[in-house]
Each structure stands twice: as structure tokens, then as C-alpha cells.
Structure 1
Amino acid sequence: MRHRPATASSDLAAAFDRVRHILRGGAAPDHHLHLHSALPAALSAASYSSPDPSPSPGLQLHALALRAGLLSSPFVTTSLVSLYARRPDPAAARGVLDSAPAPRDPAPWNALLAGLSRRGLFPDALDAFVEMRQRGLVPDEFTLPPALNSAALLSNSPTARSLHSLILRSGLQSHLHVSNALIDAYAKLGAVTCAHKVFDHMPHRDVVTWTSLLTGLARSGSHDSALGVYYGMLRTGVEPDEFATAAVLSSCAGSTALDLGRQVHSAAVRTGFDSFLSVANSLVSMYAKTGSIDDARTVFDAMRRRCPITWTALIVGYAQNGRGRDSLAVYEDMIRTGCRPDYVTFIGLLFACSHAGLVGAGRAHFDSMERVYRITPGPDHYACMVDLLGRSGRLEEAAELLSRMRTGPDPTVWKALLGACRVHRNVELGERAAEMVFRLDPTDAVPYVMLSNLYSRARRWGDVARIRGLLRARGAIKEPGYSWVGVGPATHVFRAGERGHERTAEIYRRVEEMMGRIREEEGYVADTDWALQDEDAAGRERGLAHHSERLAVAFGLLELPRGAPIRVYKNLRVCGDCHVAIKLVAKVYARVIVLRDANCFHHMRDGVCSCGEYW
């Protein structure tokens, strides 16, 4: 069940009153029959009376069942097992099963399975399922959902597939809640294709069906597919619940679908789902991850209740949107309220310090992790600290920090050091960092590209050619860069130098206009160190002008009304020359340009970027 009954305490009192009334009846002919029907109801009420029910009511009812000789009843046995499994007291639940006559139906075992799975005792739940089968009991439609859930949360894909086979052989897939449990299990295992196949073969679906698939797709990062499921849900007339709302907001964030996110927000306000903590948290995260950080703050301020996820979402959001000092202020508010930071909170906090150049604050927060909160720093925290020290030119201190890691630095940490070496043109240390990444993951193309750029800026063209040859020889595949911009419901994708768009001629004319204006009005000079070096000077400058993010900005200038921000997204880091050029374009055209690259958001206005050149 998703919610505990709101009248659990009054139900328990009423159930006990009924039992007392029956007992006062003494030797009435139907006394035993009435008690047989009243005890399961009383036990059920006792199991829901509180999150961890007091043993007293349950023990009294258990004793009464013993005295009345009712343990042979599968209804009473099942209710007792369910009570003890919810407490949780699996030993007592097993004791009831073992002391009762061998059941002929699976109901008591189903109660044990459900209780164990609900309490997170997933190995015990699967062991109970195996024992149930060994005793010759045939699973029914209530047996399989908790078993599937346990297998999924143990990441036990073979067991989940075996259970699926059993469901098909038994014909239990016709039960809606069994197929829903299958979709949920496959989604939790990341097998979204299997989840979709189960979904496609279901003759009937309810809100749980749609929500299970939607949530699974969102969790696996298949955000565009998740949005497609959401639209399908609406077309069929199924009203999303709070779980579906939180999931689709997560996918709006992942696919940068800000306009749809706003629509979902409006729907959540109308239905009251915005009062659910999970939905409000998803709203804060969605607005932060789509570059609308002020909207994220508005949602945050309106929340009546917050948890560490809420605070962390805003801390990370401010950090990614170039407002590191605001991140630190939110963190201070979080501590003052008594909310305890977690592992992810410190990633956002250190990221904020790194992108605001706050070395002292970064050191202090890093040191407080273990000293104050007993949180062991992980690779992400070390990567942030290396980035922070590296950006400020403290490269040797960053390298020394790596030597103090309890476990060897992973590729993420070494790439952070390599990136800092590229900024400060420290070839020797950069070579060492790159070599460590090559050893740990020789097929990752990123360090080859970073080292090649470092050599390029040092004018070591022979080493540039050598690294490119090494990249090809080791089979590392460089991810192609692309940018996209949304106009209305459509998303327009651009790649460097591409001419396949239906408005290519207009876009390239606008690019030439942009470059001409920033040269004449702002004195822009292309930094061709960021261009491929196998062309002449004019070719390198032309190649920079046709980078994907500039094509996207040009299209935004053509299509979006004056006053509307131009939101451009890129899958890789923006190059240094594009960063300078687009800032100037924002100034000369009097536009706000929000560019999100693989690292952070750049809010550009009047020739200034929110990143403060820490990017």
C-alpha cells in the first residue's frame, strides 16, 4: 500500500471493542465463529496502528488466538505473520508459521514475503520464497510482487528473469498488479527495454503501470523516452499521480525541457501535488538544472517542509549557475535549521567554492566532512578540491592532496588535475596526470583531447600529432560535440560546420553578422589556439565561428523574440574563444544568453558571464 490508513488508531480501538464484546458473550453458540472473523481484523488494525507497532496489542491477540485454538485458521495465521513481519520481527513471524499446521494455501507465506520485502530484508524474502516452493506451495498473484521487488533491489537480474518465466508459465501476467510489479522490477534493474516490452503487451494499464515505466526511464537517464511515456499517459486519459509528477520533472531537467517543466508545475499546483516533498524537491532541481535558478529559489522559499535533498538541490543549483557565494549562504542556513548535510551536499558545496575561487572556504568545508560530520570524502570531493586548487594556480598542492587519498585517485580526479594543468599550461604535471588516466581507462577519449589541447597551447605540434595517433590506435572514440536550442515545442540541434538545417543560409549570414559586430564594436580577436591547427589562420578563425554553440545562438537570434532569453545547451565544454565571443554577442545584441555546457551554466549579459571566468 502507498499510504497507511489515516484512521489506524481508531480502527484498532474499534477492533478491540468488537473482540471484547464477543468474549463477553461467553458460551454463545456462534462465539467461536465470531471470534474467528474478528481476530484477523483486530490483528490487521494492530499492524497498522503505528510505524512500528507496539508489541502489546499484538501479543494479547496472539495469546487469545492460542487459547481459542485458532492458530489452525489460515486467516488468523496470515494476520499474525503480517503483524510480526511489519514490526519487524521476522523470527516471531517464522515462529508463527512453524507452529501452525502446514498451510495448504500460500497466504501466510505471502504475508511473510511482503513484510520482509517492505522492511528491506530482501535476501530473507527470497530465501522465504525458495523455502515456500520447496514445501510444495504454489505461488499466486500475491506471492510474486514482493519477490520481484526483492530481486530488483538486490540487483539480481537472473532471479527477476526466472520469476518472469514463472509468471508466464502460471498465467499470472493477467493480473494487473503482477505485470506492474514486473515493469517496476525491470525498471529498477535498468532493463528498460524489457520493462517496455511488458508494458506493450498489457491489455489494461492503470496509473501505477504508467508511473512504473516513467519512473524507470527517468532513473535510467532515458529522459526523452520518459517524456514520450508522459505524453502517452495524458493522451489515454490517465491522470498522473505525485510519483509520476516527480519522475517527469526529473526528465524535464535531464532533457532541458523547461517549457514542459513549467506546464507540469502548473498542473501540480492545480492538483495539490506540489505540496508533496518529492514533487517540490523535483521542482527545485528541475528549475536549477534548466538554468532558471531564481524560479528554483521561489519554489524553495514556498516549501513548508524541507529535507537534505531540498537543501542540496538548491546548493548544487546555485553552484552550477555561477552563484557560488549564494550556495555557501544556503548551506549556512541549512546548518542553522539543524538539517545535517550529506555526501552529495558537500559535492555541491565544494563545486561552488571551486567555481567562485573560494580556496579558504573550500578547504574549511572539506576538512569539516570527517572532523564534524564523519563523512569520508570520495573521488568527487577530491576532484572538486583538485579543481579548486588547480584553478587558483596551486597545482603542486593539488598533486600533494591526491597523494593523501586513502584509495588511489580515480580517472575523474586525475582529469581534474589535467584540466587545471591545461589552464595554467603546466605541461610536465599535465603529462603525468594524463598518463595516470591512460593507465586507468585507456579508451576514455577525454584525456587525449585535453593533453592535445595542452600541447597545442604550448605550440608542441609534434606531440599534438602523437597524441591524436595514440587516440586512434587505442580505439578511444571522441564524443562529437553538438548544441541545441529550443524554440516553442521544437528542439533544433547543431554540429560544428553543419549545413543540414532548413534555414542554413540565414543562420550562417547571422553568424557572419555576429562576428563582424563584435569585431567592430568590441575589438574581438579570435583566439585560434582553440581551433584545429591543420588549417591556415583564416581557416582556423572560420572554423571557430562555425562552432555548434555559435550556430545555435545565431538561430536563437533569428527565432526568439527580443527580450526572451536565448537558452543554448552543449554536450561538451564550451571552448574559450566561444565563451568570449558569445559574451560579446550578448552585449552588442542586448540579449540574455544562457549557455549550459558539460560543466556549468553561463548566464551572459552585457558582456559579463556569471561564471566569473571560473569555468
Structure 2
Amino acid sequence: MGLHKSRRRGPARLDVLRLSCTYTKHASLKRHRRTFSTPGATAIAVLDAQSDPITDCTVRPHGGPPMALPAGTGVVAYNAAISRCARAGLYARALALFREMRGRGLRADEYTLPPLLNSAALLRGPPVAVAALHALLLRAGLAHHLHVANALVDAYARLPCAGGAAAARAVFDEMPRRDVVTWTSLLTGLARAGAHAAAVRAYRGMVAAGVQTDEFAVAAVLSSCAGSTALDVGRSVHAAAVHLGLCPFRSVGNSLVSMYAKTGALHDARAVFDAMPARCTITWTALIVGYAQNGRGRRSLEVYTDMVRSGCRPDYVTFIGLLFACSHAGLVDAGRDHFRSMAVDYGIAPGPDHYACMVDLLGRAGRLDEAMDLLNRSSTELDATVWKSLLGACRVHRNAELAERAAEMVWRLDPTDAVPYVMLSNLYSRARRWGDVARIRALMKARGITKEPGCSWVGVNGVTHLFHVEDRGHPRAAEIYRKVEEMTERIRAEGYVPDTDWALQDEAPEGRERGLAYHSERLAVAFGLLAVPAAAPIRVFKNLRVCGDCHTAIKMVAKAYGRVIILRDANCFHHMKDGECSCGDYW
């Protein structure tokens, strides 16, 4: 707040970058408009500031100045030229033409701004250009044109900074009129920003407003249904798409396959895939990745074979799915073959994601030396994900020496990441190296590193029920805890023995067992047994990797109660039935 007030009192320079990146619901568009209408802080002053936010932050095409239009060229001709450049992807040239147009004293109109906003957003540079154009259109009184406001919502929604989606929402909320383009731009921006629950709410608002959905809006909200694990909403969107005749659109089909796969509904994903009249690389890849994440690695490879036979060319993401499938199915030789094939047969250079999968594949198989050799020979710039894969393998095989080397690499690349601390602590704990456990915890405290708290959730009748470890905040907490005790008694009778290596080691033995029983995923499963109809699967989602003891216990619960339990953790889906898991205990 202080910054904003000081800007009003200070020189006629506007920090539009800060405004656009910190634009939240607490700083409304009215406040933004007041800033832009401050005497001296006009849009033209912003655009003509010492560092021109429209053009100086961009790279001019081919390293040279853009071609100037003849003297005497009018606004209509400039608009046409700017629009052509934007459609051709020459975004820097479009913005440079606008600067030239302003330099000749020509005023922008409602046809000038939309392609400029699109160009400013798609350049993927600093968001200052979009904010400056926003200032200009407000000063010029063009915001009342629906297509201009739509372009502004879309431009903010495309910005990579955290405030882009919030700025899009602020503009959206100020609009007196909206159409399907407005809603779709907002949905897409929220989905891209990871605000999936907000996108689902926006979609419901769109339906309530009586706006007829199109294929772009459907694809956007399905992406958020997948991201928020909202399978019930996804099914209702699918039904609406069928009713509106939108399913033949490939973008809708692709989004449906991905949504069903990412929410664990593989049968539905396959049914949509089989019904699609035409498929592309995205379609095939969505199914390959879906099977891989749901513990059906061999099916992923079969789908890939069908893809190649169909003449469809795999891409970078396809091979991530394939290598993930090989890793989680223990198919070492197949993984090596596909890793080689992507470069030799398709000219795709392996990236950090592929190396992370290969390290995971080799590490799971206990081939840690081979994994290190692969990394040492790599010419790719490796990121923290690769070293965390190696660290995870070291934890499984209790190789503390190599784990420490991997953790050091993660700390160099991402000093704030809590994962290496947690993994090392777990490794030391299982080795009974309590001094090292204490050292890691002290190091975390000294560096201000905090572990992400684990939580699990289950959806029932459109309501999401969230649980944390030893959580007693749920209205049915007493019932849930009684059900947990009942579950524990049943599986103990079947031979379950708690693995206290997964518990906090600074507790007494009986406290460790009790702590394991009340992990968030078990509370969610207990609630599912109480609230989900017997014929339906219990779908539980967790933000972190499920602990080994809970994995064993929930498999046994599924058998003891004759239920199907689908648990999605940070790594993959676990389809549990009759005491078995789709991951083959290999996750």
C-alpha cells in the first residue's frame, strides 16, 4: 500500500511491472484505473518512458530494425499491418510498428489494441508491455469495446508471472458485458496458473449465466478438472459436451482422455480414445501417460506400438510417458531401448525429464552405478529433479554415501527444496543413525527450510473432504477415528504389522504405531468407507508420496472390506483391490 501511495506523490513514472505481477483481488481494477488517471502518469508517458516497455524489452526480428511503412500511412493501414504481424507470429515487429505509428502522431483505436495485446503477451517477456497497453486503452476510453476487453483478459491470462491470472480476473469482474470468449480466456488463464478450483467455479458461473459453452471452454475446464481431481465435475462437463455436439472436436477429445486418465478413470479414458474419429500425437501421448501413471506400464508400451504403426510421430512428452512406464514396470531393457530410440530414430535430444526417468528406472533396479555413469556422460544440463530421482533410489537401497552426493547437487540447484532433507532424514532413520537425523533437522532449522505438510482428500457428492495427519477437525471425526481403529484391528487379524521405520523416530514405539494409523491417507480412506457407496471405488488423493506402511495397510483394507481403493499420490496412481496394487509395490 505504501508503495502505491508513494507512486502517486512521486514522479510521473509508473511501475507497471509491479502492478501487473502483484495484481490481486485486494488491489482492484478501480485502484489500477485511479493510478493511470493520475496527472502526468498518462499511458503515453508510460509507453515513452526511458526504457520503452513496449519495444525495448523485445528482440527485433532478424536482429535488424523493422521495415517502416510509407509516410502518410493511416490508422487503418497500420492496424492491418499490425494484425498481419501478430497472426504471423512476428510479435516484436507488431509492437515496433505501433511505436512507429505513435511517433507519427496517430491514435490507436479499438482495432489496434487486440493484436497488440496478443503480441505483448505471447512474447513471453516482462509483463510490463501488457500493463502499459492496459493503461493506454483506459486513457483512450476503449475498454467498453467487448473485443478489446476480451483481448485484455486473454493477454493477462497468458502472462507467466503469478499475478497474470489474478489481473485477468480483476479485468473480467469489471466488465459490464461478457461472452463465451471472455469466459474461455478466464478459464484458460486460471487453468494455466494452476488455480484449478477457481477455474471450476468460474465454469459453473459461466453455466449459471446462461453462456453456451464452446469447444475451447470445455477443453480449458477439463484441464482444471484433471488438475483438481474433480472427476464428478469432469463427467458433467463431458455430458454437456455430448449434448452440445462438441466431442468430435479433437481438442475436446484430447482433454477428455487426459482428464479421465489423470483422475484414475482409465476405462473412460480408453472409451473416449476409441470413439475419437481422428487422433494426433497429443491424443496418443495422453493415453500412454495415463496408463503409465496408473500402473499399467506394459499397456503404455502396447499403445506406443499402435501409435507408431498408425504413422503418428512421437514427441518429447511421449518419451517421458514411455520412460515413466518402463520405470514403474521395472522394464529396464525396454527403457534403455526407448531412451536410445528417441535420439537415433526421431532426433529428439533427451532432456532433464528423460534423464530423471532413466535414473529412476536404473535406481529402482538397484543399478546405481549405471545411473551415475549415465549422468556423468550426459551433455544435458541436469536439474534438481534428476538428482532427486537418484536420491530416491538411494533411499530405497539405503546407499547413504551416494544419497549425500545427490542431496548436495539438489542443494546447489535449489537451496530451498525440502525434499533432500526429508529423504536423507528418512534414510538415516531407517539405518538407525539418530545423530545424522538430528543433524539434518538442525540444518533445516538453521536454513529456514520447512517440510510441506502432507494432506489427503476424498470427494463425496461434489464436496471435497480434506485431512491432515491426526486431524480431528472434520464434523464426523469421532466416526472416522472409530473406523480407523476398526480398520487396524481387521488388518492386524490378517497379519499386518506396522513398519515403524516410516514413523517419527523421536516418539516411543507405541506412539509411532499410533501415529502411522492416523496418517492423512488412512483418515481419508476411513471416511471413504463411511461415505462412499459400497459399489463405487474410494478415490483418495495425496499431495505427497504415500508412505510404505500406509501403502501396505490400505492394500489390506481394500481386501478386508472388499472395496476398490484408488489412491493418487505425488508419484502415481495406486489401484488397490483384493490386497494387490497396480504398482506391484514398485513405486
Alignment of 1:178-257 (within 5 A): 178-190=148-160, 191-257=164-230
Query: Does residue 1:292 correspond to 2:265, yes or no?
Result: yes
Report the aligned-residue RMSD: 1.2
Instruction: Kindly provide the CA deviation profile for residues 211-248 of structure 1, in whole angstroms up to 9, marking residues without a partner as x.
Output: 11111101111101101111111111111111000001
Instruction: Report the 3-state secondary structure (helix = DSSP H, G, I; strand = E; otherwise coil) of the residue aligned with 2:576.
Output: strand
Partner of 1:167: 137
The one-letter amino acid paired with 1:209 is T
Equivalent-residue separation in structure 1 for 2:318 and 2:176 (angstroms): 44
Instruction: Kindly provide the CA deviation profile for residues 277-314 of structure 1, in whole angstroms up to 9, marking residues without a partner as x.
Output: 10100000000000001110110011111111001000
The one-letter amino acid paired with 1:182 is L
Partner of 1:149: 118
Alignment of 1:124-523 (within 5 A): 124-156=93-125, 157-190=127-160, 191-520=164-493, 522-523=494-495
Partner of 1:31: none
The one-letter amino acid paired with 1:586 is A
The one-letter amino acid paired with 2:89 is G
Equivalent-residue separation in structure 2 for 1:417 and 1:377 (angstroms): 17
Instruction: Report the 3-state secondary structure (helix = DSSP H, G, I; strand = E; otherwise coil) of the residue aligned with 1:567.
Output: strand
Equivalent-residue separation in structure 1 for 2:116 and 2:351 (angstroms): 34
User: Structure 1 regions of 5+ residues with no counterpart?
Assistant: 1-90
Partner of 2:566: 594
Report the Cα offset of residue 322 of structure 1: 0.1
Instruction: Report the 3-state secondary structure (helix = DSSP H, G, I; strand = E; otherwise coil) of the residue aligned with 2:481.
Output: helix
Partner of 1:534: 506
Instruction: Kindly provide the CA deviation profile for residues 428-483 of structure 1, in whole angstroms up to 9, marking residues without a partner as x.
Output: 11111111112221210011000100111111011011001111111122110000
Instruction: Kindly provide the CA deviation profile for residues 170-223 of structure 1, in whole angstroms up to 9, marking residues without a partner as x.
Output: 000010110100000000004111111111111111111111111110111110
Instruction: Report the 3-state secondary structure (helix = DSSP H, G, I; strand = E; otherwise coil) of the residue aligned with 2:345.
Output: helix
Q: How many residues align?
A: 519
Equivalent-residue separation in structure 1 for 2:94 and 2:273 (angstroms): 39
Instruction: Report the 3-state secondary structure (helix = DSSP H, G, I; strand = E; otherwise coil) of the residue aligned with 1:431.
Output: helix
Equivalent-residue separation in structure 2 for 1:365 and 1:571 (angstroms): 30
Instruction: Report the 3-state secondary structure (helix = DSSP H, G, I; strand = E; otherwise coil) of the residue aligned with 2:143.
Output: helix
Instruction: Kindly provide the CA deviation profile for residues 512-571 of structure 1, in whole angstroms up to 9, marking residues without a partner as x.
Output: 000000001x20000000000011111000000000000000000001111110000000
Report the Cα offset of residue 409 of structure 1: 2.4
The one-letter amino acid paired with 1:600 is C
The one-letter amino acid paired with 2:146 is L
Instruction: Report the 3-state secondary structure (helix = DSSP H, G, I; strand = E; otherwise coil) of the residue aligned with 1:204.
Output: coil
**TM value normalised by structure 1:** 0.83
Partner of 1:78: none
Equivalent-residue separation in structure 2 for 1:407 and 1:589 (angstroms): 49
Partner of 1:61: none
Equivalent-residue separation in structure 1 for 2:445 and 2:285 (angstroms): 41
**Aligned residues of 2:351 and 2:380 also touching (Cα < 8 A):** no
Equivalent-residue separation in structure 2 for 1:193 and 1:261 (angstroms): 24
Equivalent-residue separation in structure 2 for 1:408 and 1:238 (angstroms): 47
Match of 1:560 among 532, 548, 554: 532
Equivalent-residue separation in structure 1 for 2:283 and 2:158 (angstroms): 23
Instruction: Kindly provide the CA deviation profile for residues 27-71 of structure 1, in whole angstroms up to 9, marking residues without a partner as x.
Output: xxxxxxxxxxxxxxxxxxxxxxxxxxxxxxxxxxxxxxxxxxxxx
Equivalent-residue separation in structure 1 for 2:477 and 2:255 (angstroms): 37
Equivalent-residue separation in structure 2 for 1:499 and 1:513 (angstroms): 17
Match of 1:582 among 512, 537, 554: 554
Equivalent-residue separation in structure 2 for 1:345 and 1:475 (angstroms): 38
Instruction: Report the 3-state secondary structure (helix = DSSP H, G, I; strand = E; otherwise coil) of the residue aligned with 1:275.
Output: coil
Aligned-pair identity (%): 71
Equivalent-residue separation in structure 2 for 1:440 and 1:259 (angstroms): 39
Report the Cα offset of residue 119 of structure 1: 1.1
Equivalent-residue separation in structure 2 for 1:498 and 1:567 (angstroms): 19
Equivalent-residue separation in structure 1 for 2:567 and 2:316 (angstroms): 28
The one-letter amino acid paired with 1:194 is A
User: Structure 2 regions of 5+ residues with no counterpart?
Assistant: 1-63
Report the Cα offset of residue 94 of structure 1: 6.4
**Aligned residues of 2:350 and 2:380 also touching (Cα < 8 A):** no
**Aligned residues of 2:352 and 2:381 also touching (Cα < 8 A):** no
Instruction: Report the more deviating stretch, 560-569 or 434-443.
Output: 434-443
Partner of 1:17: none
The one-letter amino acid paired with 1:185 is A
Instruction: Decide which structure has the larger Cα Rg and report it.
Output: 1
Structure having the higher helix fraction is 1
Partner of 1:32: none
Partner of 1:107: 76
Report the Cα offset of residue 407 of structure 1: 3.4
**Aligned residues of 2:555 and 2:580 also touching (Cα < 8 A):** yes
Report the Cα offset of residue 595 of structure 1: 0.1
Instruction: Report the 3-state secondary structure (helix = DSSP H, G, I; strand = E; otherwise coil) of the residue aligned with 1:174.
Output: coil
Partner of 1:120: 89
Equivalent-residue separation in structure 2 for 1:224 and 1:489 (angstroms): 12
Partner of 2:35: none
Equivalent-residue separation in structure 2 for 1:409 and 1:179 (angstroms): 42
Partner of 2:521: 549
Instruction: Kindly provide the CA deviation profile for residues 70-100 of structure 1, in whole angstroms up to 9, marking residues without a partner as x.
Output: xxxxxxxxxxxxxxxxxxxxx9x969x53xx
Equivalent-residue separation in structure 1 for 2:200 and 2:529 (angstroms): 27
Equivalent-residue separation in structure 1 for 2:175 and 2:532 (angstroms): 43
Instruction: Report the 3-state secondary structure (helix = DSSP H, G, I; strand = E; otherwise coil) of the residue aligned with 1:197.
Output: helix
Equivalent-residue separation in structure 2 for 1:215 and 1:409 (angstroms): 31
Q: Which runs of 4+ in 1 moved over 4 A?
A: none
The one-letter amino acid paired with 2:133 is L
